[in-house]
Amino acid sequence: MKPLFGKIVSNKMQKSVLVEVARIVKDPKYGKYYKKTKKFMAHDEENVCNIGDFVRLSGTRPLSKRKRWNVEEITRKAERQVACGAEETK
């Protein structure tokens, strides 16, 4: 199976993440290119993925009803931002 590349949009589950994979398609009639996205459930054995990380997925045997992908590696970590109200409080 061809590997997929995507961005993590949710990591609220144990050992599972929700990955959004984007692809560019061409409209057959007008020839305009546009982006389509699809979300995949993937297995994250060590729970190391965070929201915003870019990952590479590889296909695997069915692990559950919706999980058929495994997080192979984190290609780019997300930049961590400090929340506005997280400054020092007195």
In order of their start, the domains of the chain are 4-82 (2.40.50.140)
Residues (pLDDT < 70) of the chain are 81-90
* 8 A C-beta contact, residue 37 and residue 52: no
* 8 A C-beta contact, residue 50 and residue 8: yes
> Tell me: the pLDDT tens digits for 40-65?
999 999 999 999 999 999 999 999 99
Confidence at residue 79, expressed as pLDDT on a 0 to 100 scale: 86
With 0.85 as the threshold, say if the pTM is over it: no
* 8 A C-beta contact, residue 63 and residue 42: no
